[in-house]
């Protein structure tokens, strides 16, 4: 572990991409306070900040695993940008819950064309297959990891709620999710399964 202490954040990120999971633990411990403080400063609500913090690190894990990080600047800036986008997405989702009527002159009848409907049906079928594949792959996960994936993605619980339901800390819930995502990624490669939603 002492070798990690001498590495820069950028080197740790690249080590994690290369498969060294302990490098991520060091990245998390170095940056979690800065990122949480930033989120808390913006949203000014501790429960919401906790949820957005967990969501941020899930996105970071996914982006690193998908090789969407390149060492072209300070890691903390990249991390902060992801946190910022998570906050923006949260507020956009709140706004989209409000119903907006289209003006009368706005003719949307062309959206009923057969090609659009067929495309939507094809996406629906693809997404249903992806969810079926995810559930099948989840059966191969250890129970604790399977539970956190199910509660987060299928019951849409926050990490705080998951932690309370499973009697563990929020960080343990995040850790279980991280290892679940690592294992799911391995399984998708092993069985050549595409999990992209449309």
Q: Is 20 left (phi over 0), alpha (psi -120 to 50) or beta?
A: beta
Q: What's the pLDDT tens digit per position in 12-26?
A: 999 999 989 899 989
Rg (CA), the chain: 20
CA distance 191 to 26: 31
Place of tokens 């629906």: 124
Place of tokens 């998390």: 28
The C-alpha atoms of residue 103 and residue 106 are separated, in whole angstroms, by 5
* Tokens representing residue 154 in the block: 């299928």
- Number of C-beta neighbours around residue 84 at 10 A: 14
101-160 pLDDT, tens digit each: 445 554 444 444 444 444 556 666 666 776 777 778 888 888 888 888 887 877 777 888
DSSP 8-state symbol, 140: T
Specify the pLDDT at position 52.
93
pLDDT, residue 102, reads 46
């Amino acid at each position: 572990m002492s070798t990690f202490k001498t590495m820069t954040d950028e080197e740790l990120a690249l080590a994690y991409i290369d498969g060294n999971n302990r490098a991520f633990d060091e990245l998390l411990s170095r940056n979690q306070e800065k990122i949480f403080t930033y989120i808390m400063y913006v949203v000014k609500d501790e429960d919401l900040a906790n949820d957005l913090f967990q969501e941020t690190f899930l996105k970071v894990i996914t982006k690193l695993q998908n090789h969407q990080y390149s060492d072209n600047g300070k890691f903390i800036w990249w991390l902060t940008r992801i946190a910022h986008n998570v906050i923006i997405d949260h507020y956009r989702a709140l706004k989209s819950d409000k119903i907006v009527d289209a003006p009368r002159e706005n003719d949307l009848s062309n959206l009923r064309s057969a090609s659009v409907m067929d495309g939507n049906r094809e996406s629906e079928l693809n997404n249903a297959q992806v969810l079926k594949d995810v559930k099948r792959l989840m059966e191969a996960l250890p129970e604790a990891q399977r539970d956190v994936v199910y509660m987060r993605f299928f019951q849409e619980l926050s990490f705080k709620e998951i932690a309370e339901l499973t009697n563990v800390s929020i960080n343990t819930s995040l850790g279980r999710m991280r290892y679940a995502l690592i294992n799911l990624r391995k399984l998708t490669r092993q069985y050549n399964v595409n999990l992209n939603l449309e």
